Amino acid sequence: MPTGVALRDVRDQLFNAAERVLLRAGPSGLTSRAVTSEAGCAKGVLHRHFADFDAFLAELVLDRVGRIEAQAVALLDRTGTGTVAGNLTAALTGVFESVAVAIVGLITFRDELRARLRRTRPAGVPLLAEATAMIASYLAAEVEMGRIAVDADVDTLALTLVGAAHLLYAGREGSPPDPAAVEKVVTTVIADVVQRRLL
Per-residue pLDDT at 8 exceeds 90: no
pLDDT of residue 173: 67
Residues 57-82 as b/e (b if ≥16 CB within 10 A, e otherwise) read: bbbbbeebbebbeebbeebeebbeee
Cα 197 to Cα 199: distance, rounded to the nearest angstrom: 6
The confidence band for 69, taking pLDDT boundaries of 50, 70 and 90, is confident
Which 3 state secondary structure label does DSSP give 138?
helix
pLDDT tens, residue by residue, 103-129:
988 998 998 898 888 888 767 788 899
Per-residue pLDDT at 71 exceeds 90: yes
Cα 39 to Cα 18: distance, rounded to the nearest angstrom: 8
| Section 147-159 average pLDDT | 96
Architecture per CATH, 1-49? Orthogonal Bundle (1.10)
Mean pLDDT score of the chain: 89
pLDDT of residue 186: 97
| Section 25-42 average pLDDT | 92
Per-residue pLDDT at 5 exceeds 70: no
pLDDT of residue 1: 42
Q: What are phi and psi of 82, to 5 degrees?
A: 55, -150
Contact present, 71 and 137 (Cβ < 8 Å): no
| Section 86-96 average pLDDT | 95
Among candidate residues 178, 66, 84, 183, the one with its CA nearest the CA of residue 131:
66
In CATH terms, are 1-49 and 61-196 the same topology? no
Percent of the chain with pLDDT over 90: 60
Between 76 and 64, whose confidence is greater?
A: 76
Query: What CATH number labels 61-196?
Result: 1.10.357.10
Contact present, 97 and 169 (Cβ < 8 Å): yes
Structural domain boundaries of the chain?
1-49, 61-196
